[in-house]
């Protein structure tokens, strides 16, 4: 009877399904409106240095920083609920920090058990997961603080346990360099080392690593130059000449050219500094004249020798004063005098002959623009400017030919050197693949 009624009437299951579906949707809406159970992880800065090819295997792609979650079972505070002050009888003393424990000792103590447990395993990706967690923890500490600094340093060290963790090490070093200026040089040097390590890693994005390496190296060199530390900048750029795996031939040549230019500027700067020191003790006209001419002919800032101008001959004093004033503000006579001086003395410049002739041409153009009458003076100024431009063009052409010849020689040297390094690298990679095939684990 019941079977007949059920077959004759409408089935009851669709109605129950609608009830269950509505209940599930209600739960989903409630979950969406609830506060999150964890704080979002701090993303790692910078582009990924690892290949995104799925064939690279698990872990070869960029590791995702683990979220900084609350402990399992912990209650999440409702931010919308009004804060309630505890009753006076329920107040308890705040937790006290051990004043005898350093920040690094605290970090070692907090993570000691997990570091020990991970150390017993062969899969080094566990080290990387802990390194990212340390990084996330550090980013939520007070800035600046010794504890954050110690935690970031520990994240950097843990990230080096596997090439999968190099990005974490770089992220930690970047924060250390930005938030703690006293440690910026050390952090930058370590970043360069990590880039070199990454260049020897299989499936790495070599173009990305090379771009990051060169950008960091040039930024560090510019910081040295801002402090007139030419030797420091040259030493830094010299490192790029030994990074054959990272830089192309064109990049190596460009770095080599930059080093040569800095050596020239360093030579002039040291001579200027010595003359300025000598003038402070004894303002001799000969040294003042040498300083002013050196600045005018081989330096790009005429203000650097301004204190010596009062001690030189009147004609040189007028020329130096004109450069300080700026060509665009000169009178016709001042511009003509400045152009004549540069066209006559450019030959004594050590490294800036073309620039000196450029100044002469600009000065003649200024005088020509101010001379209204198209007379013999106008014709003379026009010819002087064209002569200065022709001399400049010849110097630039000869310099270009010399640079091309030097580039061919450097390319031959670099190709020979890279060939030997490439052979050694292929041999080393073959051994690494063999070891991985035998061990079946992650290579460090």
Residues 117 and 214 in one domain: yes
Residues 46 and 175 in one domain: yes
The predicted-structure confidence for 221-256, as pLDDT tens digits, reads as follows 999 888 888 888 888 888 877 776 777 777 777 888
Query: pLDDT class for 325, splitting at 50, 70, 90?
Result: very high
Residues 110 and 214 in one domain: yes
Query: pLDDT class for 281, splitting at 50, 70, 90?
Result: confident
Write out the two tokens for 385: 């400017």
Confirm if 363 and 338 have CB atoms less than 8 A apart.
yes
Residues 423 and 326 in one domain: yes
Residue 342 covered by a domain: yes
Residues 120 and 215 in one domain: yes
Residues 213 and 327 in one domain: no
Residues 220 and 111 in one domain: yes
- pLDDT(10) > 80: no
Residue 437 covered by a domain: no
Q: What is the mean pLDDT of residues 422-437?
A: 43
pLDDT (0 to 100) of residue 59:
39
Q: What is the mean pLDDT of residues 120-138?
A: 87
DSSP 8-class letter at 30 = H
Reduced to 3 states, what is the DSSP secondary structure of residue 305? helix
> Structure pTM?
0.57
Give me the chain's average pLDDT, please. 76
Residues 119 and 221 in one domain: yes
Residues 221 and 348 in one domain: no
Where do the H-state alpha helices sit in 160-284?
A: 166-179, 184-199, 206-226, 230-240, 249-281
Domain boundary among 196, 230, 264: 230
Domain boundary among 230, 245, 278: 230
Residues 316 and 226 in one domain: no
Residues 217 and 352 in one domain: no
Q: What is the mean pLDDT of residues 185-207?
A: 88
Domain boundary among 190, 205, 230: 230
Query: pLDDT class for 102, splitting at 50, 70, 90?
Result: confident
- Look at the chain and report how many structural domains it folds into: 2
Residue 228 Rama label (left phi>0; alpha psi -120 to 50; beta): left
Please choose, from the candidates 335, 339, 333, the residue with its C-alpha nearest in 3D space to the C-alpha of residue 357: 339
Query: 250-264, 307-321, 426-440 — which one is most confidently predicted on average?
Result: 307-321
DSSP element (H, E) containing 420: helix 376-439
Residue 302 covered by a domain: no
DSSP 8-class letter at 161 = T
Write out the two tokens for 141: 């500490």
- In angstroms, the Cα distances linking 280 to 75, 273, 287, 303, 310 are 72, 11, 11, 16, 13
pLDDT (0 to 100) of residue 405:
80
DSSP element (H, E) containing 286: helix 285-298
The dihedral through the CA atoms of 386, 392, 394, 396 has a sign that is negative
Residue 153 covered by a domain: yes
The predicted-structure confidence for 360-400, as pLDDT tens digits, reads as follows 999 999 999 999 999 999 999 999 999 999 999 999 999 88
Residue 60 covered by a domain: no
Residue 280 covered by a domain: no
Residues 46 and 170 in one domain: yes
Residue 180 covered by a domain: yes
Residue 316 covered by a domain: yes
Domain span including residue 328: 311-430
Write out the two tokens for 266: 């360093």
């Amino acid at each position: 009877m019941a079977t007949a009624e059920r077959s004759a009437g409408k089935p009851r299951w669709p109605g129950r399904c609608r009830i269950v579906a509505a209940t599930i949707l209600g739960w989903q809406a409630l979950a969406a409106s609830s506060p999150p159970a964890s704080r979002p992880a701090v993303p790692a800065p910078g582009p990924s240095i690892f290949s995104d090819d799925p064939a690279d295997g698990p872990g070869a792609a960029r590791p995702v920083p683990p979220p900084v979650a609350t402990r399992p079972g912990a209650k999440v505070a409702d931010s919308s609920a009004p804060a309630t002050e505890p009753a006076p009888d329920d107040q308890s003393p705040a937790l006290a920090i051990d004043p005898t424990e350093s920040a690094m000792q605290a970090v070692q103590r907090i993570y000691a058990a997990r570091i020990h447990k991970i150390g017993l395993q062969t899969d080094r990706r566990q080290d990387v997961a802990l390194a990212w967690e340390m990084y996330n923890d550090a980013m939520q500490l007070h800035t600046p603080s010794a504890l954050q600094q110690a935690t970031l340093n520990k994240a950097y060290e843990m990230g080096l346990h596997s090439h999968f963790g190099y990005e974490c090490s770089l992220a930690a070093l970047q924060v250390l360099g930005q938030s703690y200026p006293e440690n910026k040089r050390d952090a930058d040097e370590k970043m360069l080392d990590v880039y070199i390590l990454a260049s020897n890693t299989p499936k790495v994005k070599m173009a990305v690593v090379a771009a990051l390496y060169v950008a960091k190296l040039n930024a560090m060199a510019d910081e040295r130059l801002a402090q007139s530390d030419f030797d420091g900048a040259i030493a830094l750029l010299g490192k790029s000449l030994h990074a054959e795996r990272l830089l192309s031939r064109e990049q190596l040549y460009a770095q080599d050219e930059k080093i040569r230019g800095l050596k020239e500027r360093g030579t002039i700067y040291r001579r200027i500094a010595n003359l300025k020191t000598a003038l402070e003790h004894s303002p001799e006209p000969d040294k003042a004249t040498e300083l002013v001419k050196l600045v005018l002919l081989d330096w790009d800032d005429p203000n650097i020798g301004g204190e010596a101008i009062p001690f030189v001959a009147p004609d040189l004093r007028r020329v130096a004063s004109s450069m300080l004033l700026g060509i665009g503000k000169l009178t016709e006579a001042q511009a003509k005098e400045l152009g004549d001086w540069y066209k006559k003395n450019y030959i004594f410049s050590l490294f800036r002959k073309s620039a000196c002739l450029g100044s002469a041409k600009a000065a003649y153009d200024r005088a020509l623009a101010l001379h209204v009458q198209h007379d013999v003076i106008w014709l003379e100024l026009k010819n002087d400017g064209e002569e200065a431009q022709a001399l400049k063009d010849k110097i630039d052409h000869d310099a270009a030919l010399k640079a091309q010849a030097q580039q061919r020689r450097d390319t031959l040297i670099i190709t020979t050197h890279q060939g030997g390094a490439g052979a050694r690298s292929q041999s080393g990679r073959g051994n690494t693949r063999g070891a991985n095939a035998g061990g079946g684990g992650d290579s460090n």
